[in-house]
Structure 1
Amino acid sequence: MQEDMHYYGTYAMARAAGLEVKHARVIAYAAQYVDDSTANDSEVHKDGGMFQTIATAHTNSEAIENAVADHVEQRHVWVPFHFFPGGKGDTLSKKLTCVKDSELAQKMVKNHIRHAVSVKNEYGLTLMGIMAHVYADTFSHYGFSGVSSRNNKVDGTSFELDVKDPEVKAYIMNKFSSFLTKYTPRFIIKNYRNIASRGASIATGALGHGAVGTYPDRPFLRWRFNFKKDNRDSGWRDNPATFLEACEKLHAAFRDYAEKAGISKKPVPFDSIKGKVDEILRLESAKEGRIKAWIEAISSGELFEIEDYEALHFSKHDWEQQKDDFEYIEHSHEMKKKEVYQFHQAAIYHRDYTLKNLLPKHGIVVL
């Protein structure tokens, strides 16, 4: 999923679930920041304290190439944060494949809600945001795994896209080509549907959904293809339907958290907004247009009772600035009050819980 869902959709679901702006903003910011925290850095304060960050994503070509070569990096980042293993199948490769709303994902959600309540005055909100990102991605990334695997490779001649607007269809096909160009050596693509997909698959080492570009992340898209292995038909992937499921599940998780944390305020039943959410998800538009649709629905009060101020603008630089300010604060321990510090607390908790606790209990040892 992209920013329209990870920030704006998440924010809308959190607000509708009964969370106030100040809480929903942090949750939504953390959900989107999972895609923006790309560095494993450490900064030492003049008093000797240290602030260390962890990468929860890689967004540039050099980092992608490193991830392909480094299987440890794949398992630190892609597996726990973007392709949560479904635990199904008789081989490790199959167990690592992401499954929509899997039993393991549900266990993760329940655990994180419980833990977030226990640390609600520390990093509870940022943990809920990370949970929201990981859980939502199971509704878009299912069928692919976060490790290099031949099971991720697809037949580039088999794509079928169900898009009504021809301009939008051309736009997303061009985006696919741009995705390929970004992560492969430069060469002229003479056969878009075949060579492009093959190139992307090679470039990412059959990692994640690289061979299908951003098709899984576009909420309005219905599409299908064949996996290369055994020429297996993916069947129609109905993104609007699965994204709507994700919204409903997030709403339920946020409502559960708000009630257990004692911060619930005027929750709205999901059924009362389901039609409007579905309408937004089915909008055939580039990301900017989809973000605008969320903002307009929120601002008009169609999803919940709005407050004087709603957090309707995301910029990753807000938390990046908090990182940069570390060296200038008087005492290093003051950093623990910063949202970016709490995000990395939550990220480490989620990664360790997933890789060292939950997955091993289900026969999946990847790190």
Structure 2
Amino acid sequence: MNIDFHYGVVYIAARVGGMTAGDAQTVAHACQYVDDATTSGILRFKGGETFERFATAHKLFDYANTENDQNRLVWAPFHFLPAGVGDSLEEKAVCRPDSEVAREVVRRAIRQRDSETALHRLGVTLHTYVDTWAHQGFAGIESPWNRVHLLEAQDCTRKGWLASLELAVAHLIDRVETDVLTIALPVGHGAALHYPDQPWARWHYIDGCNHFISRHNLPDFVQAADMSCRVVRAYLAGREDFENQPGMPDDVKDALTRLLDTNREPDDNLRLRTVCEWVNAGRIPGLKEPVPGYIAKGHGSWKYQATGLLCDDDTGDRPEWTTAFEKSDYRLFHDAVKQHRFVTTQEILPARGLRIA
């Protein structure tokens, strides 16, 4: 999924679920920031203080990254949550929608609702949770399950120059492109390109086990939004049985379905703009308000507000550590990431026979 869902739709789900606008913004921002937090390592301050960070994405979504150890710490716990079902490690590592593993990850986040990182942890968790619908059938480790052959899509808009080609020609290019990418992009859905992340897409392909896979993203994305609303209601109520909480009202679900189905701009940032316009215009029943803007990098970003650093790689004078840093969204997000990664890779997955980190 992209920013239109991770920020825009998650904001809607949080507000419909009863969260205040400020808290909903924090949760949605943390949810999207999982895709933008590409800096890892030690942040060093002028006075000698240090703060450790883990990247939750590779730069430019580098699915071609061949460092499998790093893939297991980035893609698996945050983007392709293993379902833990099957016999071999590769089969257990495959992501499945709304899996029992995913539900346990959600329950563990709700259990920490009184901690200082609670909202940020919830946002990180929701990113991982909703991606189980979009990334189903793929794995965050090198795996034959990630191989894609003969991918075809009738209702998808291609980016850049592919968008200008006739449908039949685009299909031929797809076949060549995905066969090559299957070998070059061994992690996640790299060989499937952007199709898993487009809310309206209908597409099909042959997977690495020679199974015919047919996907219709729209109902999956709507279900992911509805379950996110249930998670928020459970979080606010202090209940871990989120699946038993009320979801979105039918009129909200219908409006969201129309929005996701008709908002087909290839640029996900433009799709986010449309989502925000719908909310601001009251086209989501019961919700009429401006959606706060999202800034990933530079001036106004969480990192800049906490450190004054503009560059992604910490280039520049070392910042001064203050107590304000400890209360910053940047620090709270990264500590939530550490908690999420540890619980997922060291507790939940090993308990289901899957040790990948």
TM-score by length of 2: 0.86
The structure, 1 or 2, with the larger RCO (C-alpha pairs under 8 Å, 6+ apart) is 1
Match of 1:362 in 2: 352
> Quick one: which of 263, 277, 300 aligns to 2:281?
300
Match of 1:198 in 2: 179
Query: Taking structure 1 as reference, are residues 77 and 174 closer, same or farther at Cα in structure 2, changes over 3 Å only?
Result: same
Separation of aligned partners in 2, 1:173 and 1:273:
36
Match runs of 1:229-268 below 5 Å: 229=209, 231-234=210-213, 236-260=214-238
> Quick one: which of 109, 124, 133 aligns to 2:127?
133
Asked if structure 2 preserves the Cα contact closer than 8 Å seen for 1:21 and 1:310, the reply is no
Match of 2:196 in 1: 216
Asked if structure 2 preserves the Cα contact closer than 8 Å seen for 1:268 and 1:304, the reply is no
**In the TM superposition, what is the alpha-carbon distance from 1:36 to its structure 2 partner?**
0.4
**In the TM superposition, what is the alpha-carbon distance from 1:325 to its structure 2 partner?**
2.5
Match of 1:144 in 2: 138
Tell me the amino acid that sits aligned with residue 104 of structure 2: K
Aligned length: 333
Match runs of 1:8-87 below 5 Å: 8-60=8-60, 64-65=63-64, 67-68=65-66, 70-87=67-84
Q: CA offsets per residue over residues 26-71 of structure 1, 9 Å max, x none?
A: 100010000001111322223332122210001338x655x31x22
Query: Taking structure 1 as reference, are residues 50 and 152 closer, same or farther at Cα in structure 2, changes over 3 Å only?
Result: same
Separation of aligned partners in 1, 2:192 and 2:161:
11
**In the TM superposition, what is the alpha-carbon distance from 1:227 to its structure 2 partner?**
1.2
Greater percentage in helix: 1
Asked if structure 1 preserves the Cα contact closer than 8 Å seen for 2:152 and 2:171, the reply is no
Asked if structure 2 preserves the Cα contact closer than 8 Å seen for 1:55 and 1:77, the reply is yes
Tell me the amino acid that sits aligned with residue 310 of structure 1: P
**In the TM superposition, what is the alpha-carbon distance from 1:295 to its structure 2 partner?**
1.2
Match of 2:102 in 1: 105
> Quick one: which of 201, 207, 232 aligns to 1:227?
207
Query: Taking structure 1 as reference, are residues 136 and 269 closer, same or farther at Cα in structure 2, changes over 3 Å only?
Result: closer
**In the TM superposition, what is the alpha-carbon distance from 1:356 to its structure 2 partner?**
0.3
Identity score, percent: 29
Tell me the amino acid that sits aligned with residue 357 of structure 1: E
Separation of aligned partners in 2, 1:154 and 1:64:
14
Tell me the amino acid that sits aligned with residue 98 of structure 2: D
Query: Taking structure 1 as reference, are residues 228 and 76 closer, same or farther at Cα in structure 2, changes over 3 Å only?
Result: closer
Separation of aligned partners in 2, 1:240 and 1:191:
25
Match of 2:325 in 1: 335
Match of 1:185 in 2: none
**SS of the residue 1:159 aligns to:** strand
Query: Taking structure 1 as reference, are residues 111 and 268 closer, same or farther at Cα in structure 2, changes over 3 Å only?
Result: closer
- In terms of mean alpha carbon deviation, does 191-200 or 318-327 score higher? 318-327
Separation of aligned partners in 2, 1:352 and 1:214:
29
Tell me the amino acid that sits aligned with residue 253 of structure 2: K
Separation of aligned partners in 2, 1:190 and 1:269:
37
Separation of aligned partners in 2, 1:173 and 1:254:
40
Q: CA offsets per residue over residues 290-348 of structure 1, 9 Å max, x none?
A: 223311221122335457x633321102123135327444x444311000110000000
Structure 1: 5+ residue runs without aligned partners? Answer: 178-188, 262-266
Q: CA offsets per residue over residues 216-252 of structure 1, 9 Å max, x none?
A: 00001011111143x2101x21100000000000010
Instruction: Confirm whether residue 95 of structure 1 aligns to residue 92 of structure 2.
Output: yes
Separation of aligned partners in 1, 2:350 and 2:158:
44
Match of 1:162 in 2: 154
Asked if structure 2 preserves the Cα contact closer than 8 Å seen for 1:49 and 1:332, the reply is no
Separation of aligned partners in 2, 1:144 and 1:104:
15
**In the TM superposition, what is the alpha-carbon distance from 1:258 to its structure 2 partner?**
2.0
**SS of the residue 1:366 aligns to:** coil
**SS of the residue 2:278 aligns to:** helix
Match of 1:291 in 2: 272
Q: CA offsets per residue over residues 82-128 of structure 1, 9 Å max, x none?
A: 0000111111110000001101101111111111x120xx1111101
Tell me the amino acid that sits aligned with residue 24 of structure 1: A
Match of 1:186 in 2: none
